[in-house]
Structure 1
Amino acid sequence: MTTANTALQQDTKHPPGLYLLFFTELWERFSFYGMRALLTLYLTTALISGGLGYNEATALSIYGLYTGATYFTPMAGGYLSDRFLGRRLAITIGGISMALGNFALFAVHSRTGLYLGLALLIFGNGFFKPNISTLVGELYGKNDPRRDAAFTIFYMGINLGGFLAPLVCGFLAEEAFRTTVDGVVRYGFRYGFLAAAIGMVIGQILFNTLGNRYLGDIGKKTAATASGPDAAKSREPLTRGERQRTAVIIIITCFVVFFWAGFEQAGSSLTLYTEKFVDRDLFGWTVPTSWFQSVNPLLIILLAPAVSVLWLKLARSPRGDLKVPTKMALGMILLGLGYMVLLVAVSQSGGDEANITHKVNMLFIVFTYLLHTLGELALSPVGLSLVSKIAPLKLASLLMGVWFASTGVANILGGQLAAFTQSLGYFEVFLVIGVMAIALGFVLLALSPKLVRMMESE
């Protein structure tokens, strides 16, 4: 092999630390999505049947507050990591807390156990989520051409965990441990939560036993105690260009709040709609409702390589690749189009549980998730890559936390929107979400040239 070919191979080969972080995040997402797939069903199922017996509006609000808080606390976790803990220690603290949270849901079947488990999960996610994504960025130089591809690979790890979790945890909860006593069906939700806890433990064992070997000293020191030219720069005041790039992150974060508010209906209003209004019969077997939560991550795994190739081909074309704000605007428009498909389904089935004309084909839900997945691929991985690339070093984890906070605010908003389906109806709520997503997508598209100039300022 020639020297030139060897250099090319080194330029395209990813460091082994990426794959360690891939599997660590995979198991964390297995834990998160396993619990997420079951939470609404667990809250709304009667106490005698293994649930907690909340009414649907209350359950949807709890779901929104929980998922919102898990994405909001990374701001605090990112700040503490930047200043005091270092990223590696923060990931360990977060992972252990999340494992304990899922175990509490398994061990204590009561509303007290629910609040204890959710509190531990929220606390742990605040430390885990912003730091592992930032570590991926630290594996690469600022202008390393492998960065976007690395985040696409990392994102596939996220979604592989998200694909497996509803299948495993949903099967345990709805099938494997389902029993019937005196004519009453009882579900094994607690065993689904136990599987989520075990997944989190596996991820932490991998991270802490292999971290020194594959990550070296990356993430061990805080920005304040690190050494070298980059660290010295991190202690200086922000330059004008750094302030503008920080502003871009904040502006884009505000836009994507509404994307995630619509996208995260998957675990709340879309779950309930699927449960009641969708024909889930498949050759005489009823598909568990929770299994539909695996459609999106499966599509991510299948489509992410194709989308990466598309971006690469565009980059090599005479006009060049689409700018990040433009990609994100297209993502929001695709989300809105997914809700247009849902409106067709609701108009056929009726949005009133007491007056269901007929249950709609499950392909409506699958096609909705397809459009949402394409929107996610256009928005989320490039957003992670952008934040890791343009955020000032001294604010890296904090701004990654701000990015995730958009999902936090969105989940709280999304929970309130989902609750309105019980009073206003599914058609009205899905219409508002779809129209707003498309409208904001076009606004972001118009602002894209200005945001790009701010991103590229020195």
Structure 2
Amino acid sequence: MTATATETEGVKPPQKGFFGQPAGLGPLFFTEFWERLSYYGMKAILVYFMYSQLSEGGLGLDKGLANSLASSYGAAVFMSGVIGGWLADRIFGARRAVLYGGVLIMIGHIALSFPGGVAALYVSMLFITLGTGLLKPNISTMVGGLYEPEDRRRDAGFTIFVMSVNIGALLAPLVVGTIGQKISYHLGFSVAAFGMALALVFYILGKGKLALVGDKPVNPVGADERGKVITRIVIGAVVVAAAFVISGLAGVLSVDRVIDVITVLGIVLPTSYFVMMLRSKKVSAVERSRVIAYIPLFIGTVFFWMIEEQGSNVLATYADTRVDLGAFGFTMPSSWFQSLNPGFIVVLAPLFALLWTKLGRRAPSTPVKFALGVVFSGASYLWMILPALIYGQSLKAVHPLWLAGSFLIVILGELCLSPVGLAATTRLAPVAFGSQMMSLWFLADAAAQAISGQIVDKVSPESEIPYFGIIGGITVLVGVALFFLSPYIKRKMQGID
């Protein structure tokens, strides 16, 4: 049975106090809300900032390159969770990792708030990538640590926690997006920095309700290992820095090359993680079986996120170039479409949480929920073939409701997969790899966006039908395959439902 952070540390947080959930869920909820408002605010205008002309306050990049760079940036953000999970498990503990990550994210947003050109963009990407790697996997691990393994409130608790993500993401485009597109991109990024500062305030003030959840590393580096670990970290940093310097001097370092490297890492990293856990002597036979069960769930999740995450680049560009933004009598900012995804979740998530709670043991198994989520995501892209057939593939005439429909369909999938996936990850994680297993969950998103970095520059009005049709069709088939594999997966989960 997988131990929680509280069991490991021997101190239980207050078990009541936030909508029937542990009291510690409150500060984590509000921390995540403000952090997500800052992140999704930045993300709502990032693609537009990159491809808008210099005269419009942008960077003037090619649209295809901007989409590929945005996907690869997203992949790097989620891949950094590997480092953040390891540092939390072995050195900092989850609590300090979240704090340090928040500070780095705030610095990254501040860098974008000044007109520093492409250089400022890259500096911001570096800080936000490292900061999110520390914060994201570890705050989710802390949520899992609030519950005993047999506590059936866990799925509902994670659903509430995901609500914080989506309330923040709902407001972000409406606030940051409007300011960024109507006034100044840099002012929009400043608002994102302020949101991250508020997240840190809520996190620090809520310390007392968390007891000792995440306070110590679950698998700390021993005194005999410390020297080797520091040496390896230093050597790794030097090798990476040297590779960039040498590549730059040799004239082979380019944005396209960086995107290619991120794509390779997006596939190699999760593969290496699975191999490491399956071979580790710290993983018991039962835990190893659960890791095996997690592999097909992980693959299905990659396909889901590949489509869902393209909402902020492919569909964002679609909103800007193909949708009639004046269809409702006023011209709306194209960034507002980024509020549809979280908006649908805010409305529907309580219904799904109530559904899973009411059904109890009669609810679909975790693998079946995953399968449903993947099928819905594929269907959301098949839906996008229809407006191309109706309106043609060159006019800016698509009614906004077509794009809204695609977001609604993928959200039905996300509510089947995302909160359930977070909960399943904490339950299936080996004791010695708690935070790192959560990092693996986020690596599914990284792999998805890394793959997207190679294909999103291929979409254009002329290629819409094959692009949406092929990606959507393959994803639906993956979901169907996952459904037929669900009995095998459930057996390998060894009693975890």
TM-score exceeds 0.5: yes
1:65 aligns with 2:84: no
Q: 1:220 aligns with which of 204, 212, 215?
A: 215
Is 1:389 equivalent to 2:402 in the alignment?
Answer: no
> Where in structure 2 are the equivalents of 1:353-432 lying within 5 Å?
355-356=394-395, 359-422=397-460, 425-432=463-470
> Are the structure 2 counterparts of residues 409 and 424 from structure 1 closer, same or farther at C-alpha, using a change threshold of 3 Å?
farther
Q: Equivalent residue for 1:144?
A: 151
TM-score (norm 2): 0.82
* Residue matched to 2:311: 266
| Correspondence for 1:49 | 56
* SS of corresponding position for 1:279: coil
Q: What residue number does 2:81 align with? A: 74
Q: What's the counterpart of residue 204 of structure 2?
A: 208
Aligned-residue offset at 1:285: 1.1
Question: What TM-score do you get using the length of structure 1 for normalisation?
Answer: 0.89
Contact 1:333 1:441 in 2 (8 A): yes
Q: Residue 77 and residue 11 in structure 1: after superposition, are their counterparts in 2 closer, same or farther (change >3 A)?
A: closer
2:186 corresponds to: 190
C-alpha separation between the residues in 2 aligned to 1:107 and 1:126? 24
Given the alignment, which residue of 33, 41, 47 partners 1:34? Answer: 41
- In the TM superposition, 1:226-245 aligns within 5 A as 237-245=282-290
1:283 offset after TM fit, Å? 4.2
Distance in 2 (CA, whole Å) between partners of 1:10 and 1:218 is: 16
Letter in 2 for 1:106: S
Question: Shift in Å at residue 457 of structure 1?
Answer: 5.5
- 1:329 equivalent to 2:371? Answer yes
Cα deviation, 1:339-395, whole Å, max 9, x if unaligned, reads: 1221001222333xxx42x61211101111111100000010000000111212210
Residue 287 in 1 paired to residue 332 in 2? yes
Shift of 1:423: 9.0
Cα distance in 2, alignment partners of residues 92 and 330 from structure 1: 36
Residue 47 to residue 293, structure 1, CA distance change in 2 (3 Å): same
- How far apart in 2 are the matches of 1:62 and 1:382? 30
SS in 2 for 1:284: coil
Q: Is the 8 A contact 2:381 2:471 kept in 1?
A: yes
1:181 equivalent in structure 2? none
Q: Deviations over 1:223-270 (max 9, x none)?
A: 1359xxxxxxxx983211101112222331122111111111111111
Aligned residue for 2:488, secondary structure, equals helix
> Whole-Å Cα distance in 2 between the matches of residues 81 and 14 of structure 1?
25
Counterparts of 1:252 and 1:73, CA distance in 2: 21
Equivalent position to 1:441, from 479, 483, 486: 479
| RMSD after superposition | 2.0
TM-superposed CA distance for 1:171, in Å, is 1.1
Are the structure 2 counterparts of residues 423 and 13 from structure 1 closer, same or farther at C-alpha, using a change threshold of 3 Å? Answer: closer
- Equivalence for 1:88: 95
**Percent of aligned positions with the same letter in both sequences?**
36
Tell whether the 8 Å contact from 1:30 to 1:196 is kept in structure 2 after alignment. yes
Deviation at 1:416, TM superposition (A): 2.4
Distance 2:151 2:19 in 1: 10
Aligned residue pair count: 424
Deviation at 1:47, TM superposition (A): 0.9
Question: Which one of the candidate residues 279, 297, 304 is aligned to 2:342?
Answer: 297
User: CA separation in 1, counterparts of 2:16 and 2:89?
Assistant: 34
Q: CA–CA distance in 2 between the matches of 1:39 and 1:430? A: 23
The whole-number CA distance in structure 2 between the counterparts of 1:428 and 1:129 is: 35
What SS does structure 2 have at the residue aligned with 1:278? coil
Where do 5+ consecutive residues of structure 2 fail to align? Answer: 1-14, 222-279
Unaligned 5+ runs, structure 1: 1-7, 178-187, 227-234
Q: Does structure 2 conserve the Cα–Cα contact (< 8 Å) formed by 1:260 and 1:407?
A: yes
Q: Where does structure 1 differ by over 4 angstroms across 4 or more consecutive aligned residues?
A: 8-12
Amino acid of the structure 2 residue aligned with 1:448? S
Whether the aligned pair in 2 keeps the contact of 1:60 and 1:416 (CA below 8 Å) is no
* SS of aligned partner of 1:140: coil
Contact 2:17 2:23 in 1 (8 A): no
2: CA distance, partners of 1:266 / 1:365 = 10
TM-superposed deviation, 1:108: 3.7
Deviates more, 1:102-111 or 1:377-386: 102-111
> Match of 2:113, SS?
helix
Q: Please list the CA deviations of residues 308-367 of structure 1 after superposition, one character each: whole Å capped at 9, or x if unmatched.
A: 222233336xxx21011111111111111111221001222333xxx42x6121110111
Letter in 2 for 1:120: F
The answer as to 2:130 corresponding to 1:133 is no
CA contact 1:38–1:170 (8 Å) conserved in 2: yes
Change (3 A) 1:236 1:216: farther
Amino acid corresponding to residue 220 of structure 1 in structure 2: D
